[in-house]
Amino acid sequence: MTAPAPLRVIDFGDAAPLRSQTLWHAVAYGVSGGAAPTLSFVRPSDPYVSIGYHRRLDEVDLETCAVNSWPVYRRMIGGGPVYLDSGQLFFQITVPVKAVPAARRSALRWLLTPAIEAYHAAGIPAELDEQLEIVVGDRKICGYGAGQIGDAAIVAGNLIIDFDHHAAASILRAPTLTARNELAHLIRRYVAATPADPSAFKAAAIDAYAQAFGLTPREGVLNPIERDRLDELDQRFLSQTWLEGRSRPDPVAWQAKIRAGVWMFAATEREAEVVVCVANDRVLRAHLQHAGLNGSSTSLEAELAGLTLAEAASTLDRSGAAGRSLANLITRADPGRSL
Amino acid sequence: MSDEHNVRGFKVCLDRAYHLDFHLWVKVSEGGSVRIGMDPLGLDTAGTLSQLEFADAGTIVARGEPFGTLEAEKFVGPIRSPLSGAIVAANAEVMSSPGICERDPYGDGWFVELMPFDFEGERDQLTEGTVTVVAAFAAKVDEYRRQGVLAE
């Protein structure tokens, strides 16, 4: 009888910001090269900022990062710019890509479901909702990103023991003070910490992933290929060219996502300015500015709450020339980027 | 026969070839270059596209190697080339608004134009011809449904 295949478990403990990224990227190259599926854990020793592979660096408020001495690193997996610190324990599950379901939503569900069991074991009533967000109620409690590196698929997520909402909002560049205030408000409202014992979470995650994948957990370390890759990744992540990423088209409007289905955008043109917060396809709050509104902005803002973006644009379109300018700005929002 | 066919609920254009493992279509353009885009089954399994990135014009790619990356559901993955060749053009419009691919996968939602190095030599890796394409596409949909990765 053959013994079950191993689930390599690597607990990197506390790591400096750079290594708290490059260690698990190195693991992905190892798994791609034939190493066993791996569950790893790491906790950053100091605050920093990480930006998703495709995202524009100008989404990050680099001045705030510099003032606070928070380094910024571009990761090789998806998602937006995020603030990380020692209040967050990160886990990464890395498997050969051929083992993963072909559809991404199925793949993510498969890769994240054991983590839900780990949250439960740590006393957190987490759920994986329809939008594939890990939540308690309507609050996101885990930030994750995923990707394929070589022939390995990886999902990296976190247990948020303590969350600095102010810092998390401050690292995002917002075009106006109104947008910045709304951003901070939405982060506070829709992202929650779940104080729990990280050791209990780790132990439960090891059991849950081993059982779900039919593997036997075995403590491991980086193999020689991964150690070589680590040095290369350190250099890559420190390079300005890598950080800046490839040039991308200018967005038609500033937009930020707080959790799946909760997002905001802001757009300005000449004397017209809109800031709109959206939750579950409906306007949560709108801020309108246009000299031509003649003091009617407050009533119009109230009228837009609860409408879809199309209904909001249509309502503004019927409100004179100023309204039409604002409606035009609203059509620039891209709901596709809210998921 | 119409150039379009509905296969198990997915629109399939029959005026082009397919690489069904990569979920890409390949359509020969004037001058010998080919236009490449993603088929609706690939778009369905990818989820809502949020980001697309393609190699610059002039980049040489080998068949099976990535010519770009795609992000959907916060998952970044490679887009592998169905043919070897040189990228002639990349569609900047879909990089700005990936939703175009979902709205018009066979038209404005194209990804790149590529000048193949050996189209005739690599053509046997593609699925072509009405009967073959429809049967292969249907088999792929059935396979995914059996795996439970598509909604019934």
pLDDT in tens, A118-133: 999 999 999 999 999 9
Share of chain A above pLDDT 70, in %: 98
The alpha-carbon gap from A111 to the nearest alpha carbon of chain B, in Å, equals 12
Closest alpha carbon to B23 in B6, B10, B32: B10
Residue-level pLDDT at A252: 80
Residue-level pLDDT at A337: 64
Quick check: B85 pLDDT over 70? yes
Check A78 against B75: CB less than 8 A apart. Answer: yes
Check A53 against B144: CB less than 8 A apart. Answer: no
Q: What angle do CA A97, A73, A163 make, to 5 degrees?
A: 90
Please write the tens of the pLDDT for every residue from A218-242: 999 999 999 999 999 999 999 999 9
Please write the tens of the pLDDT for every residue from B15-74: 999 999 999 999 999 899 999 999 999 999 999 899 999 999 999 999 999 999 999 999
Closest A-chain CA to B68 = A54
Quick check: B96 pLDDT over 90? no
Quick check: B2 pLDDT over 80? no
Residues of B in contact with A102 (CB under 8 A): 45, 144, 147, 149
Residue-level pLDDT at A336: 64
The confidence band for A248, taking pLDDT boundaries of 50, 70 and 90, is confident
Q: Are strands A48-51 and A72-74 parallel, antiparallel or unpaired?
A: parallel
Distance CA B41, CA A34 (A): 30
The confidence band for A1, taking pLDDT boundaries of 50, 70 and 90, is low
Closest B-chain CA to A251 = B96
Residue-level pLDDT at A91: 98
Interface of B with A (CB under 8 A): 44-51, 53, 69, 71-78, 92, 95-99, 102, 144, 147-150
Q: Which A residues, 67 through 126, put their C-beta within 8 Å of a C-beta on chain B?
A: 76-79, 101-108
Closest alpha carbon to A277 in A265, A288, A289: A265
Enter the tokens of residue B97. Answer: 């608004």
Please write the tens of the pLDDT for every residue from A17-26: 999 999 999 9
State chain B's maximal CA–CA distance in angstroms. 42
Residue-level pLDDT at B148: 84
Residue-level pLDDT at A4: 78
- Taking residues B8-12, what's their average pLDDT? 95
Residue-level pLDDT at B1: 42
Please write the tens of the pLDDT for every residue from B11-27: 999 999 999 999 999 99
Check A102 against B47: CB less than 8 A apart. Answer: no
- Taking residues A306-324, what's their average pLDDT? 94
Residue-level pLDDT at B151: 65
Please name the member of B97, B102, B147 whose beta carbon is closest to the beta carbon of A102: B147
Distance CA B39, CA B58 (A): 24
Name residues whose C-beta falls within 8 Å of residue B117's C-beta, 6 or more positions apart in sequence: B83, B84, B85, B86
Check B50 against A337: CB less than 8 A apart. Answer: yes
Mutation target vs A (from B56, B74, B145, B147; most A CBs, 10 A cutoff): B74
Closest A-chain CA to B48 = A336
Please name the member of A102, A145, A148 whose beta carbon is closest to the beta carbon of B144: A102
Quick check: A339 pLDDT over 80? no
The confidence band for A332, taking pLDDT boundaries of 50, 70 and 90, is confident
- Mean pLDDT score of chain B, rounded to an integer? 94
Q: Is the interface score ipTM higher than 0.95?
A: no
Please write the tens of the pLDDT for every residue from A207-221: 999 999 999 999 999
Please name the member of A54, A106, A336 whose beta carbon is closest to the beta carbon of B148: A106
Please name the member of A76, A78, A101 whose beta carbon is closest to the beta carbon of B74: A78
Check B46 against A77: CB less than 8 A apart. Answer: no
Quick check: A324 pLDDT over 80? yes
Quick check: A155 pLDDT over 50? yes
Closest alpha carbon to A39 in A98, A118, A134, A128: A118
Helix (H, G, I), strand (E, B) or coil at A79: coil
Check B95 against A248: CB less than 8 A apart. Answer: yes
Quick check: A295 pLDDT over 70? yes
The alpha-carbon gap from B32 to the nearest alpha carbon of chain A, in Å, equals 29
Check B44 against A146: CB less than 8 A apart. Answer: no
Residues of A in contact with B99 (CB under 8 A): 334, 336
Name residues whose C-beta falls within 8 Å of residue B118's C-beta, 6 or more positions apart in sequence: B84
Residue-level pLDDT at B150: 79
**pTM attached to this predicted model:** 0.94
